[in-house]
Structure 1
Amino acid sequence: MSEPITVMAFDYGTRRVGVAVGNSVSRSGQALKTIATPNIKELFQQIEGLLKEWGPNQLVVGLPMHPDGTAHEMTAKAKRFGNQLNGRFGLPVAWVDERYTSAVLEGKPEMRDNLDAQSAALILEQYFAG
């Protein structure tokens, strides 16, 4: 049996980034926060603070795709973001197809205020199920 690990997931968007955390024991995701910042420097400063607080061993980034599974403009942006996380913080990054995470949450008005972080939690749960 392998050692338990902490995993942090990101739902990347150009205006907001949802963040969630979980571990390999519970195999569930907990929405942490949505980061809305006007610049990439501040975004990575906030992420660095979360990484120091939670100490994840693994990072997961949602990979947006068209319904048919083909890439689009945000796919490349999310990949670049994940590669930047790996380069800046030296943690491994895994990718999870996030095609249906927003659709799952759209019908739940109680989650509207923290939709991006809730999406990150779903991405994390998909990673654990994967």
Structure 2
Amino acid sequence: MSCVLGFDVGSKLIGVAVGNRVTSSARAITTIPMRNDAPDWAALDTLRGEWLPDTLVVGLPLTLEGEEQAASQRARRFADRLHERYRLPVTFVDERHSSREAAQRFAEARAAGLKRRSDAAQIDAEAAAVILERWLQDGANAA
């Protein structure tokens, strides 16, 4: 299988993207709510069943200096829970500037008439796509 799911973990939402190792491409698919530091597991179970990924990629939010912060621990806890639940390999990607790049992509798509302001909630999913693209471009196929 060549499908990979990527996650951008926030305090309120988790952006989710799907990627393909063969084409080294990724696309945003949805956001999952976080409540009390726990994701909507039923929604994640559905996504796992639908896409059947062989690997899970989680964005690791680091400071500009490359150091871990409180958000890094949230991402690590989420990754641990993913691994325990699905027994799949989970890997991390430095997600610095991924939200900025996702917002820029959204703005460009909006200017081109491809997105509406009401689609803005999907920026978190687009950030997950950016994270997954980084992983795919950084030699994930060799792993």
Distance 2:34 2:133 in 1: 26
The aligned residue for residue 93 of structure 1 is 90
Distance 1:68 1:40 in 2: 26
String of CA shifts for 1:6-51, please: whole Å, max 9, x gaps.
Answer: 1000001110000000111111111110112535666111101000
Query: Between Structure 1 and Structure 2, whose CA radius of gyration is higher?
Result: 2
- Per-residue deviation at 1:106? 2.7
Unaligned runs of 5+ in 2: 111-118, 139-143
Aligned: 1:10 with 2:7:
yes
The aligned residue for residue 127 of structure 2 is 119
Distance 2:84 2:65 in 1: 30
RMSD: 1.6
Normalising by the residue count of structure 1, what TM-score does the alignment of the two structures yield?
0.90
Distance 2:39 2:77 in 1: 17
- Go from structure 1 to structure 2 and tell me whether the alpha carbon gap of 1:66 and 1:114 turns closer, same or farther (over 3 Å shift): same
Distance 1:41 1:129 in 2: 30
- What count of residue pairs does the alignment treat as equivalent? 127
The aligned residue for residue 44 of structure 1 is 41
- Go from structure 1 to structure 2 and tell me whether the alpha carbon gap of 1:89 and 1:106 turns closer, same or farther (over 3 Å shift): same
Contact map agreement 2:102 2:124 (CA 8 A) in 1: no
Distance 2:128 2:6 in 1: 6
- Go from structure 1 to structure 2 and tell me whether the alpha carbon gap of 1:53 and 1:61 turns closer, same or farther (over 3 Å shift): same
The aligned residue for residue 23 of structure 1 is 20
Q: Which among 58, 69, 73 is matched to residue 72 of structure 1?
A: 69
Q: Indicate the percent of aligned positions where both proteins have the same amino acid.
A: 37
The 3-state SS of whatever aligns with 2:11 is coil
- Corresponding letter in the other structure for 2:134: Q
The 3-state SS of whatever aligns with 1:35 is strand
Distance 2:87 2:25 in 1: 24
